[in-house]
Structure 1
């Protein structure tokens, strides 16, 4: 089972809040520096980063979590062209990664697509 835990940041100090508020005033350009290299973010990612920075500048604590497209077992089985029972058996055996939301299984679209690609490759191998 894969599950990325949210990361929580405490509020900034008042001095850092004021500095960040001044920097963000009237700006919608988001350029991130990673190891000294500038990366200009596209609109959607830039808006998310600006929102995060604005919340920090207000003194809010912030929680960040990643989201991947999660499918129900029915949706994943339909996508793969297999039965729900066969899909559940794959997850039970650990052949397909699964996440739980309460007692409900969720499967990332990218995981089911990778499984399908592996099945296709296996069928194309000589002697299969």
Structure 2
């Protein structure tokens, strides 16, 4: 008999709980997400981004720099948010080049549609240089 190594399931007691925060200034809104973005929290994440877009901030940044795990659904939520932001005229950028987020984006060839900046500062600078971001200033 050959022994096959199967991945161990994650221990839910050791998972960093997902957390969400929003910081608003006159110039931008930053939605910060952290921890494990699994299927139990993706609806909440999508609703948070939609609510923030409804506020029509000058620019919106989604900070994923503290994300430890990212379900594939999160990439879809981010792509939908970019489309929704474009439709309402809110420039949106993603910050936090963590492997958990970059791996599915790279594997699916979505880097052009969903660029991820290293930091919130870099994302804000990119938005300020973009035509959509400079129109809002």
Normalised by the length of structure 2, the TM-score is 0.21
Over alpha carbons, which structure has the higher Rg? Answer: 1
Q: Larger helix proportion, structure 1 or 2?
A: 1
Greater RCO structure (CA 8 Å; 6+ sep): 1
